[in-house]
Structure 1
Amino acid sequence: MRATQGGGRVGISLRVFARSRHYGHVIGASKVARHVPAVKRGERVLAEPHWRSEAALQAGEVGT
């Protein structure tokens, strides 16, 4: 969640990427924040149980 100037809250998706030299030392980070509308968030919540049940069914079929 992110606060707006008016004090409201907005759902966001946040990605953070480490920036490193070719020899592996981290020299910084960058971020990308995107607004996630409530409708999309709701769709994701509704789809998740279906995805989990499908994965469980497929896992059960592997042993048969």
Structure 2
Amino acid sequence: MGDAIGLTAVHVNRMLRLLEDEGLIKREGGRVFLLDEERLVQESGYIDRFAGLDLSWLPPAR
């Protein structure tokens, strides 16, 4: 994950541990589960730039 976003593995692990301690995520078996997506969005200041796009022409997800 760190390589993909340009951060060290130590930093990524520290941030994931912080999010886990805050009850926002859970790590299990090499996977990350979002426990409070609404709060993650709020805390990160995420702006969904795709919210208004018409994606009805895309084939259905498998």
TM-score by length of 1: 0.29
* Structure 1 or 2: more strand by fraction: 1
TM-score by length of 2: 0.29
Structure with greater contact order relative to length (CA < 8 Å, sep ≥ 6): 1
Radius of gyration: which is bigger?
Answer: 1
